[in-house]
Amino acid sequence: MESEEIRVGERVKELIMPRSKFVKVTCRKCRNEQVIFNKVSTVVKCLKCQNELATPTGGDAEIKGKVTKSLM
Helices (H), the chain: 2-16
The helix (H) or strand (E) run that includes residue 23 is strand 22-26
CB closer to Zn ion, 17 vs 67: 67
The closest alpha carbon to 49, from 22, 66, 31, 37, belongs to 31
- 64 lies in the binding site for Zn ion (CB under 5 A): no
In whole angstroms, how close is the CB of 27 to Zn ion at the nearest point? 3
Contacts of 5 (CB under 8 A, 6+ apart): none
- In DSSP terms, 34 is beta-bridged to 25
Interactions with Zn ion, residue window 4-63 (CB under 5 A): 27, 29-30, 32, 46, 48-49, 51
- Please give the size of the binding site for Zn ion, defined by CB under 5 A: 8
Task: Write down the least CB distance from residue 68 to Zn ion, Å.
Answer: 14
Site residues for Zn ion per CB under 5 A: 27, 29-30, 32, 46, 48-49, 51
